[in-house]
């Protein structure tokens, strides 16, 4: 079984095919638990990101849509695409903090 780590971008897939790219948000201590899920945020193609709110550009290809935080079953992680740069991951955390701390 694949071991998703915090700050990695993975391709999800099931028996029918690809489900899209995601960024792993949950910490590695949580990810290593025997539970079946990992906390993720869905990604958009960078070209589509300008039409969405609360996004952080991760690469030339992907942007994290931070109001799409959800979970994924560990068995759906099919291929590691890349590790997100530390500054980009800090940008994601800061945007999530603003999203959750705003009232």
For the cut 70, the answer to whether the pLDDT of residue 8 exceeds it is yes
CATH class of the domain comprising 8-101: mainly beta
- 50-96 pLDDT per residue, tens: 777 788 999 999 999 988 899 999 999 999 999 999 999 999 999 99
CA-wise closest residue to 87 among 9, 3, 7, 4: 7
Q: Which pLDDT score, from 0 to 100, does residue 103 have?
A: 63
Q: How confident is the model at residue 46 (pLDDT cuts 50, 70, 90)?
A: confident
Measured between alpha carbons, how far apart are the two ends of the chain, in Å? 40
Q: Which pLDDT score, from 0 to 100, does residue 67 have?
A: 84
Q: How confident is the model at residue 1 (pLDDT cuts 50, 70, 90)?
A: low
* Rounded Cα gap, residues 15 and 93, in angstroms: 32
- Domain positions in the chain are 8-101
Q: Phi first, then psi: what are they for 101, rounded to 5°?
A: -90, -5
């Amino acid at each position: 079984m694949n071991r998703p780590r915090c700050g990695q971008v993975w391709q999800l897939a099931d028996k029918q095919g690809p489900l899209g790219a995601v960024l792993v948000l949950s910490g590695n201590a949580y990810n290593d638990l025997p539970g079946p899920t990992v906390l993720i945020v869905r990604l958009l193609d960078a070209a589509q990101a300008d039409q969405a709110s609360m996004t952080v550009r991760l690469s030339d290809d992907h942007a994290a849509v931070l109001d799409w935080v959800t979970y994924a079953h560990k068995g759906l992680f099919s291929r590691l695409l890349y590790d997100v740069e530390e500054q980009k991951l800090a940008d994601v955390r800061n945007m999530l903090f603003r999203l959750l701390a705003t009232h």
